[in-house]
Amino acid sequence: MDLATVVGLVAGVALVLFGTIDAGLSPLDLFNLPSVLITFGGGVCGALIASPWSAITSFAQYTRFAFSPPKTDFVQLITTLVQFSERARREGLLSLEDDLNSLDEPFLRKGIQLVVDGTDPELVRNILQTDMDNIKDRHSTGITFWAMIGFYLPAFGMLGTLIGLVQMLKNLGSGDPSAIGAGMAAALITTLYGSLGANLFALPIKDKLSLRDKDEQTVKAIMVEGILSIQSGDNPRIVKDKLSSFLPPAERAALEEVGG
């Protein structure tokens, strides 16, 4: 579970509720069912219209990464690649075939298999880069879906505001102040829903998914550089130094400790 996402959402909702109560309102004063339907229903439907069906069917699958990111031990990954480099230099590339079944990461297993099969280095890089590009494209579908929700929510909030103003103007002739006030309240609440939904939920989740994509691309880039270094027969120390450049200083120090 990603603590930052959960804490941010819970704290954001709590602070809005606290501000509401502190302003002398009840949280129920901010609930208006027609406004919910117009703002959130319209915003989500707008995003559905603008998205491919695959984005809808995989909605839950990619959204969960904002709350439960895949765990990657960068130090262990680099250590594994360095060990493969040592073995390849000592026993030859074909010796790595025995370790293929022990690799849980399909991308890394595929790269090592290409190396063991004697594939040209440039072709290996192109194949793996194509895989990386396809992964990024799949991620961008989910990221764009949340971005569109964040775009459409305020727009439908404004639409709800216009509907509320129409209701208010319609009731002006009645001379009933409570009816006029109800229309104005509904108009403002839809704007609130659109802004809150976009800025506390949709856009932060989009940004978190973009961060997850960047992290995965970094992991894949480490694998690609490690695989090509193994294939070219680089010294394990060179492989380690090359791959450690992807890490922040604190993790580089941990890598040195592992390397002994």
Which domain range does residue 40 map to? 32-260
**What tens digit of pLDDT does each residue of 20-50 get?**
888 888 888 788 888 899 999 999 999 989 8
73 lies in the same domain as 39: yes
Shared-domain flag, residues 44 and 160: yes
- pLDDT of amino acid 153: 94
pLDDT one-digit tens code per residue, 209-252:
999 999 899 899 999 999 999 988 888 888 888 888 888 877 77
The reply to whether 8 and 75 lie within a common domain is no
pLDDT of res. 257: 61
Does residue 87 sit in the same domain as residue 191?
yes
Q: Same domain, yes or no, for 122 and 22?
A: no
Q: Mean pLDDT over residues 135-161, rounded?
A: 90
Query: At which residue do the structure tokens 């915003």 appear?
Result: 43
Residues 6+ apart with CB under 8 A from 41: 156
Residue 234 CB neighbour total at 10 angstroms? 19
* One domain, residues 143 and 255: yes
Say if residue 23 is in the same domain as residue 112. Answer: no
Are both 132 and 15 inside the same structural domain? no
Indicate whether 8 and 130 sit together in one domain.
Answer: no
Residue 5: predicted pLDDT: 86
pLDDT-based confidence at 260, cuts 50/70/90? Answer: very low
pLDDT at residue 94 in the model: 86
Which amino acid is residue 146, in one-letter code? W
* Whole-angstrom distance, CA of residue 41 vs CA of residue 112: 48
Residue range 171-211, pLDDT digits in tens: 776 666 666 666 677 778 889 999 999 999 999 999 999 99
Instruction: Pick 153 or 57 by higher pLDDT.
Output: 153
Instruction: Give yes or no: residues 61 and 91 share one domain.
Output: yes
pLDDT in tens, 58-103: 888 888 888 887 787 888 888 889 988 988 888 888 888 887 878 8
Counting the structural domains of the chain, the total is 2
Residues 18 and 49 in one domain: no
Confidence of residue 148 (pLDDT cuts 50, 70, 90): very high
Question: Residue 201, Cβ neighbours under 10 Å: how many?
Answer: 18
Residue 76 exposed, middle or buried by CB count within 10 Å (0-12, 13-18, 19+)? exposed
Instruction: Kindly state whether residues 98 and 199 are assigned to the same domain.
Output: yes
Collapse the DSSP code of 248 into the 3-class scheme (helix H, G, I; strand E, B; otherwise coil) and give the result: coil
CA atoms of 70 and 63, how far apart (whole Å)? 12
Q: What is the pLDDT of residue 53?
A: 84
Residue 93: CA count within 13 A, CB half-sphere: 17
